[in-house]
Amino acid sequence: MSRVFMLLAVREARLLCRRPAELANPLVFFAIVIALFPLAVGPQTQLLQSLSPGLVWVAALLAVLLSLDGLFRSDFEDGSLEQWVLSSHPLPLLVLAKVSAHWLFSGLALVLLSPLLALMLGLPGRCLPVLLASLLLGTPVLSLLGAIGAALTVGLKRGGLLLALLILPLYIPVLILGSGALQASLQGLPVAGHLLWLASLAALAVTLTPFAIAAGLTISVGE
């Protein structure tokens, strides 16, 4: 099973490298949202600093959501998903490999870009480790939950809006915990509780969401 997982992850990585625009779009969106926000509210450092936890996390959430609409679409169109469903290998393992590769190329890049953009908003340097830790724990959860919606809407021609309606309510706990950890760090309060809850959500997502994604793909391919 581990060999199948690695082979599929390498295949997905190669396919993603051939479509750099799909990888760049969420990062460009993330950067533009944060860069434009100071122009809208003004250059007041104190105001930007107080708003930065929520802004960074909302921008990251929307950037991840933007990248998920076409997660399974190309595989659906070329018939690969049908082969996955009919394969003797466990479908949850296959989808976990695909989502993991997708996160490594898009979600991890977003995490690495976030400190630079957070400094533009006046976030103190002492908060950057908390920002990185919260995003490292939270963005995989966003990707896995979003993949459930992508699996259910893969057969629809214009499923982007439906995907957002399905998934955004599930993102609320991650958004609250992630921005709460950053806000607590900004105020000098303990952040361990927020990060532990995010770690628990990440563990639950890795354990349970592949089965939900596999069920969604089975329904979509069966239609």
Interval 162-220: pLDDT, tens: 778 888 889 999 999 999 999 999 888 899 999 999 999 999 999 999 999 988 888 88
pLDDT tens across 55-113, in order?
Answer: 899 999 999 888 887 788 877 877 778 887 887 788 888 888 888 888 888 888 899 99
Show Cβ contacts of residue 155 under 8 Å, excluding neighbours closer than 6 positions: 76, 220, 221, 223
Tokens standing for residue 147:
């993949």
The one-letter amino acid at 56: V
Mark out the alpha helices in 79-222 (DSSP H runs): 80-86, 91-102, 108-120, 128-153, 160-186, 192-222
Residue among 160, 171, 152 at smallest CA distance from 212: 152
The one-letter amino acid at 167: I
DSSP 70: T
For the beta carbon of residue 162, count every other beta carbon within 10 angstroms: 13
